[in-house]
């Protein structure tokens, strides 16, 4: 029994560690509050002492900081949001400079579940972080720093393309090293089933990790900064990705003709819905030593988005505008996830092989029955997939561009898929040549707006006359 006595503490540690509440379970309540539109309360929850250990830890630190930072942005606490995003970016940077997988982390992941690994941030997390930071600085009218973050978003896009190519080229080598027929696994019907749930979201237009929202914000900031040539380059990128958006077509014609708008202009950026979540899919594999084994991988599932768009009305002018599709955040997430999934499967199988080796060692002649029991309980409990993902991101961006009304008044309405209107919101615009209104609506019961003048502005104080 000596070998089993020495091995048992490690297995029990793995089992007990896996039994703790998962990241997803612990933030569910905060995300539910966020989805109702109570961004301030969600921000308080996510920045509370309850989550301090996770925010400050390496395993879940990046995700907790991203969730908290996004809630703070939507609550209008822009400086706090930037500080939290900085903390997330700094931890990402630490992982970038560290070894790909530390020895201790690898041992822990092999003994326990895949979620015991440190969450290092997806490629898309890093890009979207910079988009939100751009909005944070635009809200504070720090346009120079906002422009810096659009450049960082482009740099992260280029890094993501390079990292993806490196991952693909190294995948076969690692599979051969671990004795895994990766091609056979990726052609397995179970793997195809796991992909089927999100395959329709995967869009080749986002294969290079380009985010149309980042390019649009960059174009607006560059034009305000007097760099018309590069503003045109960025706007062309967006227009090529979204050829059906009439607002972009009009803007592109204006930018190419070097025309200034006839009057002050308002850009309305709607971020609606919630990003896809990860669920577990179980696959069956004929294993190397123990016959048939079951293992789990994550699959991506979209969260139904009931928000069709945004209706914008100018009561004084009698004009009405409807937002149009700009970018699918869920497609960006899905395309990134589809590229990463083979690597996730490979790591999962490597852990399975390692567990089977230990299982074989435990099943010695002296303690065969107990060893078999302990090993199989351990394998079953630690086979959960890693379901952590950034939950407070939206599902879609939409855009509307319109002239600023003389009285500065706009009425916003959420529109559902049947044309119904919800949550009317009155907006009072500042006196500015260009204004961005960033609207966040995770559901039909939630609507928040952030008014961001681009350049010099003056507040309006006049109130609308009573009817």
364 vs 7: which has the higher pLDDT: 364
Structure-derived torsion over alpha carbons of residues 350, 354, 355, 359, reported in degrees to the nearest 10: 150
Phi and psi angles of residue 168, each rounded to the nearest 5 degrees, phi first:
-65, -45
pLDDT on residue 38: 96
Joined tokens for residue 162: 């390079």
Based on the structure, what is the number of domains in the chain? 1
Least confident range from 179-188, 264-273, 396-405, 421-430: namely 179-188
Q: What is the mean pLDDT of the chain?
A: 82
pLDDT on residue 262: 73
pLDDT on residue 42: 96
Segment 125-150 shows an average pLDDT of 97
Joined tokens for residue 49: 């002492």
Q: In whole angstroms, what is the distance from residue 206 CA to residue 329 CA?
A: 10
pLDDT on residue 340: 86
Nearest Cα neighbor of 265 from 456, 450, 434 is 434
Beta-carbon contacts of residue 357 (< 8 Å; ≥ 6 apart): 289
Kindly report the pTM of this predicted structure: 0.86
Q: In whole angstroms, what is the distance from residue 95 CA to residue 9 CA?
A: 29
CA distances from 35 to 71, 417, 422, 448 (A): 10, 18, 15, 11
pLDDT on residue 239: 95
252 vs 166: which has the higher pLDDT: 252
Nearest Cα neighbor of 298 from 322, 282, 274 is 282
Q: In whole angstroms, what is the distance from residue 190 CA to residue 334 CA?
A: 18
Query: Strand, helix or coil at 349?
Result: helix
Calculate what percentage of the chain has a pLDDT beyond 90: 55
342 vs 380: which has the higher pLDDT: 342
Nearest Cα neighbor of 392 from 17, 108, 24, 134 is 24
Segment 358-362 shows an average pLDDT of 54
**14 pLDDT tier (thresholds 50, 70, 90):** very low
CA distances from 455 to 137, 225, 422 (A): 12, 9, 32
Segment 118-132 shows an average pLDDT of 94
In a domain, residue 466? The reply is no
Calculate what percentage of the chain has a pLDDT beyond 70: 75
453 vs 283: which has the higher pLDDT: 453
In a domain, residue 255? The reply is yes
263 vs 124: which has the higher pLDDT: 124
Mind listing the pLDDT tens digit for each residue in 310-340? 999 998 878 899 999 999 999 999 999 998 8
In a domain, residue 441? The reply is yes
Segment 104-118 shows an average pLDDT of 56
Nearest Cα neighbor of 280 from 259, 304, 297 is 297
Mind listing the pLDDT tens digit for each residue in 196-251? 878 889 998 898 898 999 999 999 999 999 999 999 999 999 999 999 999 999 99
In a domain, residue 308? The reply is yes
* Residue 162 domain boundaries: 2-458
Joined tokens for residue 417: 């898929």
In a domain, residue 464? The reply is no
Q: For residue 438, what is the domain's CATH number?
A: 1.25.40.10
In a domain, residue 311? The reply is yes
**175 pLDDT tier (thresholds 50, 70, 90):** low
pLDDT at 460 over 50: yes
Joined tokens for residue 197: 């749930």
In a domain, residue 182? The reply is yes
In a domain, residue 153? The reply is yes
Segment 134-156 shows an average pLDDT of 96
Joined tokens for residue 9: 């503490």
Which residue in this structure is represented by tokens 């789990």?
296
């Amino acid at each position: 029994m000596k070998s089993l006595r020495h091995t048992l503490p490690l297995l029990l540690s793995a089992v007990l560690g896996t039994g703790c509440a998962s990241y997803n379970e612990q933030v569910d309540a905060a995300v539910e509050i966020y989805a109702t539109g109570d961004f301030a309360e969600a921000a308080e929850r996510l920045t509370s002492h309850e989550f301090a250990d996770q925010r400050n830890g390496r395993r879940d630190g990046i995700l907790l900081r991203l969730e908290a930072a996004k809630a703070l942005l939507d609550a209008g606490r822009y400086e706090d949001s930037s500080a939290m995003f900085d903390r997330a970016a700094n931890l990402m940077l630490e992982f970038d400079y560290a070894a790909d997988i530390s020895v201790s982390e690898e041992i822990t992941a092999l003994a326990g579940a895949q979620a015991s690994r440190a969450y290092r941030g997806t490629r898309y997390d890093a890009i979207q972080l910079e988009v939100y930071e751009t909005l944070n600085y635009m809200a504070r009218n720090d346009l120079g720093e906002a422009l810096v973050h659009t450049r960082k978003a482009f740099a992260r896009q280029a890094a993501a393309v390079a990292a993806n190519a490196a991952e693909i080229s190294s995948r076969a080598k690692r599979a051969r090293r671990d004795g895994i027929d990766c091609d056979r696994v990726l052609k397995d019907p179970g793997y195809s089933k796991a992909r089927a749930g999100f395959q329709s979201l995967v869009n080749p237009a986002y294969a290079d990790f380009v985010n149309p929202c980042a390019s649009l914000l960059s174009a607006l900031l560059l034009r305000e900064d007097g760099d018309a040539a590069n503003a045109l380059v960025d706007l062309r990128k967006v227009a090529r990705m979204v050829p059906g958006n009439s607002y972009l077509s009009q803007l592109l014609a204006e930018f190419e003709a070097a025309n200034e708008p006839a009057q002050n202009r308002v850009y309305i950026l709607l971020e609606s819905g919630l990003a896809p979540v990860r669920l577990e899919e179980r696959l069956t594999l004929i294993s190397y030593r123990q016959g048939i084994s079951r293992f789990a991988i994550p699959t991506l599932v979209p969260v139904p988005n009931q928000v069709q768009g945004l209706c914008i009305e100018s009561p004084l002018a009698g004009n009405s505008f409807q937002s149009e599709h700009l970018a699918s955040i869920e497609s960006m997430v899905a395309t990134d996830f589809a590229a990463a999934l083979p690597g996730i499967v490979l790591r999962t199988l490597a852990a399975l092989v390692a567990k089977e080796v230990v299982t074989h060692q435990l099943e010695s002649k002296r303690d065969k029955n107990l060893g078999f029991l302990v090993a199989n309980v351990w394998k079953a409990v630690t086979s959960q997939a890693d379901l952590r993902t950034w939950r407070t991101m939206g599902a879609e961006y939409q855009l509307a561009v319109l002239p600023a009304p003389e009285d500065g008044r706009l009425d916003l309405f959420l529109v559902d898929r049947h044309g119904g209107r919800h949550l009317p919101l009155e907006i009072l615009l500042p006196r500015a040549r260009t204004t961005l209104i960033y609207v966040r609506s995770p559901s039909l019961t939630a609507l928040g707006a952030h008014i961001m003048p681009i350049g010099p502005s003056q507040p309006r104080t006049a109130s609308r006359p009573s009817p």
